Amino acid sequence: MRDGVFTRRAALRAGLGALGIGALGAGALAAGVETRVLPGRGRLDHALGLDGTPGRVPTVAGVPVTSGTFASKAMKTTLGYSIARPATAGPVRVAVVLHGRGGDHRGAFDEFGMDRFLAQAIDDGVPPFALASIDGGDSSYYHRRADGTDSGAAILDEFLPLLQRQGLDTGRVAFQGTSMGGYGAILLAARHGAARTAAVGAQGPAIFASAADTAAGAYDSAEDFDANDVMRMTAQLQGIPIRVDIGTDDPFYPTVERFVDAFSPPLEHSYVPGGHDNGVWLRSMGTQVAFIGRHLAA
């Protein structure tokens, strides 16, 4: 499972789901589906065709993508990055794309085809902007760690100035990400501030309910979790347009729903059939890219 999520609920689903539907009575089956606590519900939904058709990358020519590396003091290593920039005159604004656990900067374009989603959005009338992805570390969760590395600082203090030197407008930026990267997009927006953050797009964001429920390696301690818990950052996030898309079988769904409802009015969102996987995220990628582009242009 992505991001090493193995909460008590996930363990229950995985263990009992392996028994198959036949091991459950019809009444329990119906009740479990209605209350969203059925063990193996994601597997059941998939078998019954209830988790929706997996999303697809648009069949259009993508925006040109260039790649490079830089030596990061904050991460104590060389980081790779890629930029999808439309061929327009003058500087354009940029959205920083953050990958999930175990990913790297290439996934935004090789795996998710975001250069093509960007081209489609521009064809549909969204003002041109750029997408810039970066290596964020295998399980950094985009904050300062006990070993002294800090991928959040690498992005805000090193990558944004690099993008500015390359001719992009970084006066107001957006953040977008999936899973660990969705959480990171929200976290970095809170730290960058409403004055400098145009929008956030988060897909299946890895927002854990408590320090006890976190994936191994995600945080260094309970205190580290508390200091970087985005559920405690609603005040810093006020005024930033945020869109959240998540599958209702995603193990993060209950906590993400609470996060969305913590704002008044609730954040722009969609809850769709499906789990914590690319098929679900590809379904909402076009909406995410268009949402970010509209707010970057505002």
Residues 136 and 102 sit within 8 Å (Cβ to Cβ): no
What pLDDT is recorded for position 12?
33
Per-residue pLDDT of the chain (298 residues; tens, 9 = 90+): 445 443 333 333 333 333 333 333 323 322 232 223 344 555 555 554 556 788 899 999 999 999 999 999 999 999 999 999 999 878 999 999 999 999 999 999 999 999 999 999 999 999 999 999 999 999 999 999 999 999 999 999 999 999 999 999 999 999 999 999 999 999 999 999 999 999 999 999 999 999 999 999 999 999 999 999 999 999 999 999 999 999 999 999 999 999 999 999 999 999 999 999 999 999 999 999 999 999 999 9
What are residue 150's DSSP bridge partners? 144
What pLDDT is recorded for position 54?
83
- Residue 139: how many other CB atoms lie within 10 Å: 17
Phi, psi of 138 (to 5 degrees): -60, -45
What pLDDT is recorded for position 49?
55
What pLDDT is recorded for position 45?
59
Phi, psi of 290 (to 5 degrees): -65, -40
Cα distances (Å, whole numbers) of residue 95 to 10, 24, 40, 114: 32, 47, 36, 11
Cα distances (Å, whole numbers) of residue 19 to 24, 92, 144, 153: 9, 53, 42, 46
Indicate yes or no: pTM above 0.95. no
